[in-house]
Structure 1
Amino acid sequence: MDRRTACLHQANAFREKALADPEHHDQWIDEAIKWLERAMEASCRAVITMESDDGSEAPASTIEAVAPLRRAIVRQ
Structure 2
Amino acid sequence: MEYINGIKTFKLYNLTGVKFKILSDSFINLKKESIRLELSIAPFSILFSIATSLIIPIALTVGTVMIQNSDLSPQAF
Q: Same fold (TM over 0.5)?
A: no
State the structure with more CA Rg. 2
TM-score (structure 1 length as normaliser): 0.40
TM-score (structure 2 length as normaliser): 0.40
Higher relative contact order (CA 8 A, sep 6+): 1
